[in-house]
Structure 1
Amino acid sequence: MIDGALPYLRCPNCERALRRDDRVLRCARGHSFDLARQGYADLTAGRLPHVGDTAAMIADRDTFLTRGHYDFIAEALATFVPGGLVVDAGVGTGRYLARVLDRAPAATGLGLDVSKPALRRAARAHPRAAAVLADVWRPLPIVDEAADAVLNVFAPRNGAEFRRILRPGGRLLVVTPAAGHLAELVDAYRLIGVDPEKDERVREALGEYFELEDVETRRRELDLTAEEVRTLIGMTPSARHREDGDTAAITTGAEVEIRLYNPV
């Protein structure tokens, strides 16, 4: 629900506080922002150069994640989140944020994404989670030092803004694919693999604003049916570059790195 996150939001135009007026959020200077019928708030101020994942990609992601294949990631994240405001930057369908909130009954969730199909699902993912249409690459519509934790799972990283919105003592949790992530699937279907320069790109994005405390590698063997293979491919960037075709059951390893950062 948007009301739980409202004290932490600010106007993207003038940075003033927002209040709710039925299905509209307003600031003291008169800027107004609609609440979509599906429950998310549009705080882009009309500036949205890209639209994120498509409805088809989000449908496949929801189907795949609902079967629990990546819940081991959410379970690992939840161990670092005791309470307060949890911002999920690149929230997608809201699955990870919802699982974290299940384990942190005192926490409030706020999910950001540029994909409207994703936010329609994220807005309903958990009763203590709000969803906001916002571009993670741009200044975030969140007040300074509001968040106790920022989650960033397979999503773009904005080091300066993540640092600004984290309170002193807050934590940034970044999940990226490890070198062996879905290697068997990538080889079998000639999919886009893990960027070999991924670690360097993460350092460039965050190194000025955060100190790395720890890195954990988590791996889970996935025994996937042909239909699960189809939905997994469909939810990834490879879906944009691959024509639909037959899929078959496969066993592959989901392997991720979870980085824990402290603000500097």
Structure 2
Amino acid sequence: MSRGRSDEKTGSPAGFPPVPLGALCCPHCQSPLAQRDRALRCTSGHSFDLAKQGYVNLLGSGNGDTTQMVAARDEFLSAGHYAPLARLVAHEAAHDLRRDALVVDAGTGTGYYLSATLARAPAASGLGMDTSTAALRRAARAHPGIGAVAWDLWKPWPLRPQSADVIMNIFAPRNLIECHRVLRPEGTLVVVTPDSTHLAELRAYVDMLDVDADKLTRLDSSLQAQFSLTGRHDCEIELTLEPADVHRVVHMGPNAYHVQEGALASVTHALTVTAAFVVSVYRRNS
């Protein structure tokens, strides 16, 4: 039976997927949420509208990535430049998932990595959280098994304790208290961080944010009391980027807030650059 949830007349999602909905709770009173008509409601009367694009805003207002940043990211990722990273993340996150498992993507963006994971584990479902409603409009449509929610990751998450089988954290803030609370015992936490050499070739053309060389040491130290490292993988991707994609890769993340207008004007030809990431896999201690 198809798991699709599009309304045939409008092309918009018709409902929130049942597995992530069952894991959600009201951010005001922590009561379970249920869908009634085009809203998620709790027994205390709090109500959150289901947007026509399929996401639910539990946050109210946010200041996430802009429409321009999201468009740049969607265009860059859709071109397949980071497909090897998506395959590696999906392999680690989807490994041995039970039926009806829940994968939570904390900082999902456009849902690119979450949809790749669900494509590898079709019996699982996903919940993507992000502050950017511009990104969530795309995430909600990235895969029929994704439920997309606007939320601030630094706040207590609107999820039941031990409701997630896997949590993915890819270039996003890490709320380790909530990761431990929401993840089931022996559940998997997949963290993706840029390597210190990530896109180093572009620094000859534009002043980009530095990546801390001690990032992994600090990551392991912060997790060691509640999680055990079970695997770590380097992922290097050599890319030949046309000027338009150079602009996209610089402007699709935090560098967009720091790069001066016209800083990439000197990039008039294709550049060969190396994208470098580290995928760290942890198990939640009982």
Q: TM-score, normalised by structure 1?
A: 0.94
The alpha-carbon distance between structure 1 residues 163 and 193, as it changes in their structure 2 partners (threshold 3 A), is same
Contact 1:136–1:158 under 8 Å retained in 2: yes
The CA distance in 1 between the partners of 2:68 and 2:222, in whole Å, is: 30
Q: Does 1:69 align with 2:78?
A: no
Amino acid across the alignment from 2:210? G
Structure 1 counterpart of 2:281: 260
The CA distance in 2 between the partners of 1:253 and 1:211, in whole Å, is: 30
Structure 2 counterpart of 1:60: 72
Percent of pairs with identical residues: 46
Tell which deviates more after alignment, 129-138 or 201-210.
Answer: 201-210
Amino acid across the alignment from 1:2? F
SS of the residue 1:123 aligns to = helix
Contact 1:152–1:175 under 8 Å retained in 2: yes
Q: TM-score, normalised by structure 2?
A: 0.87
1:137-148 correspondence to structure 2 within 5 Å: 137-148=154-165
SS of the residue 1:181 aligns to = coil
The CA deviation at 1:202 is 2.2
Structure 2 counterpart of 1:131: 148
Deviations 1:99-153 (A, max 9, x none): 1111111110110000010001101111111100011111111111111111111
Contact 1:158–1:205 under 8 Å retained in 2: no
Find 2:181's aligned residue among 135, 154, 164: 164
Contact 2:16–2:35 under 8 Å retained in 1: no
Deviations 1:210-263 (A, max 9, x none): 122221111110110111101111102111111232133211111100001111
Q: Does 1:85 align with 2:102?
A: yes
Amino acid across the alignment from 1:260? V
Q: Does 1:28 align with 2:54?
A: no
Contact 1:86–1:149 under 8 Å retained in 2: yes
Aligned length: 261
The alpha-carbon distance between structure 1 residues 186 and 2, as it changes in their structure 2 partners (threshold 3 A), is farther
1:190-205 correspondence to structure 2 within 5 Å: 190-203=207-220, 205=222
The CA deviation at 1:193 is 2.2
The CA distance in 2 between the partners of 1:243 and 1:258, in whole Å, is: 31
Find 2:231's aligned residue among 172, 196, 214: 214
Amino acid across the alignment from 1:13? H
Listed as ranges, the gaps of 5+ residues in structure 2 are: 1-14
Deviations 1:18-60 (A, max 9, x none): 111111111111111121221101122x4x5x51111110000
SS of the residue 1:231 aligns to = helix
Contact 1:160–1:209 under 8 Å retained in 2: no
The CA distance in 1 between the partners of 2:250 and 2:284, in whole Å, is: 35
1:2-17 correspondence to structure 2 within 5 Å: 2-4=16-18, 5-17=20-32
The CA deviation at 1:187 is 3.4
SS of the residue 2:81 aligns to = coil
Q: Which 4+ stretches in 1 moved above 4 angstroms?
A: none
Amino acid across the alignment from 1:51? N
The CA deviation at 1:204 is 5.1
Amino acid across the alignment from 2:86? A
The alpha-carbon distance between structure 1 residues 173 and 224, as it changes in their structure 2 partners (threshold 3 A), is same
Alpha-carbon RMSD across the aligned residues, in angstroms, is 1.5
The CA distance in 2 between the partners of 1:138 and 1:208, in whole Å, is: 21
